[in-house]
Homo-oligomer: A and B are copies of this chain.
Amino acid sequence: MIEITETAFIMNTFFLLICGALVMFMAAGFAMLEAGSVRSKSVAVILVKNIGLYAIAGIMYFLAGYNLMYLGVDGGFIGTLAMWHPDDHAAIAGDYSAGYASAAGWFFQMVFVATAASIVSGALAERIKLWPFFIFCAILCAFIYPVAGSWVWGGGWLSEMGFKDFAGSTLVHSVGGWAALTGAILLGARRGRFSKDGKPKALHGSSMPLATLGAFILWFGWFGFNGGSQLSIATTDDALAVAKIFANTNMAAAAGVVTVLAFYLAIGRKVDLTAALNGALAGLVAITAEPLMPSALMSVGIGSVGAIVMLSASKALETAKIDDVVGAVPVHLAAGIWGTLAVVLSNPEASLVTQLIGITSVGAFVSSLSFALWAAMKYTYGIRLHWSHEDMGGDIAELGIRAYNLDHGFEEQGKAVN
């Protein structure tokens, strides 16, 4: 093992903190993507969910999640139930083998669990009640994600077996996707999303600029997500790796967009803006499991196939009458599975069988626990808005406000002055 010097320790800490801040900003990206994609009567409540879930993720990962994922997993299935606290005694004593400050590591991992939770909110928007959603997030961030994480990144059984998931196509994106899919099935579709004969009906998002802004922010943050997952930049090898990851990440995302554009050109139909945005995201999710080993050209291919997988999965969900408001399942689960499989194309250490074992074991664990949790809440407190509240919109029903008040004040003014 390479001895890590003080300078390297400092640079890695700096690097992880900046990358972590970029990933933190993805919370804003998800919030805007979702706020723009829901109908205008459901915007404020999705905003509450997004700021709330990011906060809950930070608190729960601090109280329980981090050490369940990383402390004493030792080839097993779960870590230790203990509150996190920074531990840098070794570095203070001159042993820099930890690579970076422990708080930088916590911060960087915390923003990943928040990303997984962000995926859920979009899929279930416009019909899930506020508090059950928050309860789910808390348990996802305190337990479900950390346990799966202990297997993959915490030194648990899957990592021992050789499962490769560099920055979390499976761990972050599929975990979020499974949680979203089980919730979407148990919730059912939004009223009016499918006609009585099963035809899907487009329910138009409130603001395309905000959805697009969200996609751009996610793309921007993804450089921190994938680049930072190298966890070090302080050797020549690491610096070359991080640079290649940045380039490959952009290649895959760009290919995802271009593939969607080419698809609509090929079938002779009008370009779908939402699909183009999801093409970028699907390319990003697909390259996330292995952004380092592929050539630039292969990264283009991985992103392009990711976009096709996303388009196909969207169609399949509609056929199955599963309502996913922002396409979180096609983007994060379907393209995440593809990306995890695609590792074998470039990484000689990866085996298809092991990748499949990882995908299915994480999928089985997360979907069964998620299903159980959603079901437990469904048959007790209830997870779905009353139909009259859904029709009214969560903004009025749950928050008592409207997200937009764009009458230029003329109406209100009349009342205010008198």
A53-61, A146-154, A333-341, A371-379 - interface stretch: A53-61
- From known contacts A244-B86, A247-B107, A296-B84, infer whether A40 and B407 are also in contact, taking CB-CB under 8 Å: yes
Q: A110-B250, A405-B205 are in contact. Are A44 and B210 (CB under 8 A)?
A: no
Contact with B along A260-275 (1 / 0, CB 8 A): 0100010000111100
Decide yes or no: A204 and B103 within 8 Å by CB, A17-B223, A17-B243, A212-B47 being known contacts: no
**Which residue of the partner chain, among B6, B106, B261, contacts A52 with CB atoms under 8 Å?**
B261
The proximity string for A residues 27-60 relative to B, scoring 1 for CB distances below 8 Å and 0 otherwise, is: 1100110011001111110011011101111110
A15, B244: Cα distance in complex, Å: 14
Q: Name the prevailing secondary structure of the A interface residues.
A: helix
Chain B neighbourhood of A417, CB < 8 A? 191-192, 391
**A57 contacts across to B, CB distance below 8 A:** 254
Q: CB within 8 A of A246: which of B9, B20, B212, B270?
A: B20
Across the interface, A51 reaches (CB within 8 A) one of B62, B192, B257, namely: B257
CB-CB under 8 A from A113, the residues of chain B are none
Q: Which of B265, B400, B403 makes the CB contact (< 8 A) with A270? A: B400
Cα of A11 to Cα of B398 in the assembled complex, Å: 49
Q: Contacts of A404 on B, CB cut-off 8 Å?
A: 206-208, 406, 408
Q: Is the CB of A209 within 8 A of B35?
A: yes
Chain A, interface size: which category?
A: 35 or more
A15 surroundings in chain B (CB, below 8 A): 14
Cβ 8 A contact of A408, one of B106, B233, B393: B393
A209 nearest CB neighbor, chain B only: B35
Asked whether any CB of chain B lies closer than 8 Å to the CB of A280, the reply is: yes
**A403 and B246 contacting across the interface, CB-CB below 8 Å:** no
For A357, what are the chain B residues with a Cβ–Cβ distance below 8 Å? none
- Chain A residues numbered 384-415 whose CB sits less than 8 Å from any CB in chain B: 391, 393, 395, 398-410, 412-413, 415
* Known A43-B209, A273-B44: A62·B412 in contact at CB below 8 Å: no
Q: Does A159 contact B (CB under 8 A)?
A: no
**Chain B residue with minimal CB distance to A17?**
B246
Contact of A215 among B16, B51, B256, B415 (CB under 8 A): B51
**Contact between B243 and A10, CB atoms less than 8 A apart:** no
Inter-chain contacts of A40 with B (CB < 8 A) = 405-409
Q: List 18 A-B contacts (CB under 8 A).
A: A13-B243, A17-B246, A21-B224, A24-B223, A24-B250, A40-B406, A43-B208, A47-B209, A47-B212, A52-B261, A55-B257, A55-B280, A103-B243, A103-B244, A110-B250, A206-B404, A271-B398, A395-B408
The 4 A-B pairs with the shortest beta carbon distances in the complex, nearest first, are A192-B416, A28-B216, A101-B243, A55-B257
